[in-house]
């Protein structure tokens, strides 16, 4: 049975990144899927139950002092989403500042909650938004800590590595892609689309602004090179993608998924621009 020192973990305070880091400092997990259910059990989550749910993906039930807790997860969701939901609810459980707003005194988190990002100004944002964003940050830091992502970060950004790390760490393709781009030294951007229309964009801070916006139709995307749905890297016309073209040669790669969903990666050709690869 896994043994963790909860008091030492909670000394990290309400900082979601530090909480996850303290767990990994104790866990010493060497690779593969992080054992999130065993971690939750070792930290006083006494029951983890899966059942068909409508309207929400997960729930945490715990007394005010958080001496113990129980987590409910939507059994209709994919395994990767269920793992993320469990980590998300554990983030609520361990964060001493998080308080439920549900009249029943529970955290009941919807699919939209699990997609909530930290607002630019937490001071003016509703508490629920901040809490859900922090629980999401904790979840990805727990399931995909930097130490486990680093082996995939060498070389030019490549969605093939996203496929590998997502499978090995038990992440969804979207979560794996976002984490990969977040930690990669070479600036890049992800465009998530459905039926050729932009859903949302994730951009490295150092990458130029892209011209496509949610709801807009994309330029023609590269075709899959094999049954995985992954295309080769192709040269892209920066006029199609960038608000201010001209920095250098732009490459594009697309992962085509079921039901018309796709993930498109944009990056500058480091070899042509003369940039040196930065060590991670």
Residues 166 and 262 placed together within one structural domain of the fold = yes
Residues 138 and 237 placed together within one structural domain of the fold = no
Give the structural domain span for 132: 6-143
Residue 176 domain-assigned? yes
Where are the alpha helices (H) located in the chain, listed in sequence order? 6-10, 16-27, 36-42, 79-94, 127-143, 146-149, 159-169, 173-183, 238-241, 270-273
Residue 278 domain-assigned? no
**87-146 tens-digit pLDDT:** 999 999 999 999 998 877 899 999 999 999 887 766 778 999 999 999 999 999 999 999
Residue 258 domain-assigned? yes
Give the mean pLDDT of the chain. Answer: 93
Residues 126 and 182 placed together within one structural domain of the fold = no
Which of 143, 167, 202 terminates a domain? The answer is 143
Q: What is the mean pLDDT of residues 43-65?
A: 96
**220-273 tens-digit pLDDT:** 999 999 999 999 999 999 999 998 876 679 999 999 999 999 999 999 986 654
Residues 160 and 268 placed together within one structural domain of the fold = yes
Residues 132 and 10 placed together within one structural domain of the fold = yes
Residue 279 domain-assigned? no
pTM, 2 dp: 0.92
- The set of residues, in sequence order, having a beta carbon less than 8 Å from that of 154 and lying 6+ positions away, is 277, 280
pLDDT at 17: 97
Residue 1 domain-assigned? no
Residue 99 domain-assigned? yes
């Amino acid at each position: 049975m896994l043994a963790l020192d909860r008091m030492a973990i909670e000394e990290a305070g309400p900082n979601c990144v530090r909480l996850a880091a303290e767990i990994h400092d104790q866990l010493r997990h060497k690779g593969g899927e992080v054992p999130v259910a065993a971690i939750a059990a070792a930290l006083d989550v006494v029951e983890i139950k899966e059942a068909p749910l409508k309207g929400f993906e997960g729930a945490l039930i715990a007394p005010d002092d958080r001496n113990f807790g129980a987590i409910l997860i939507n059994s209709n969701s994919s395994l990767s989403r269920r793992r993320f939901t469990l980590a998300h609810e554990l983030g609520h459980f361990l964060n001493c500042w998080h308080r439920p707003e549900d009249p029943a005194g529970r955290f009941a988190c919807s699919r939209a909650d699990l997609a909530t990002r930290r607002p630019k100004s937490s001071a003016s944002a509703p508490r629920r938004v901040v809490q859900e964003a922090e629980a999401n940050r904790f979840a990805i830091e727990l399931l995909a800590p930097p130490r486990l992502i680093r082996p995939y970060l060498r070389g030019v950004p490549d969605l093939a590595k996203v496929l590998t790390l997502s499978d090995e760490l038990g992440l969804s393709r979207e979560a794996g892609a976002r984490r990969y781009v977040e930690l990669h030294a070479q600036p890049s951007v992800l465009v998530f689309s459905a039926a050729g229309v932009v859903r949302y964009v994730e951009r490295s801070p150092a990458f130029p602004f892209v011209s496509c916006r949610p709801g807009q139709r994309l330029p023609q995307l590269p075709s899959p090179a094999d049954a995985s749905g992954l295309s080769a890297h192709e040269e892209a016309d920066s006029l199609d993608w960038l608000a201010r073209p001209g920095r250098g040669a732009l490459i594009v790669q697309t992962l085509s998924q079921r039901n018309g969903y796709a993930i498109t990666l944009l990056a500058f050709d480091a070899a042509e621009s003369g940039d040196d690869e930065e060590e991670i």
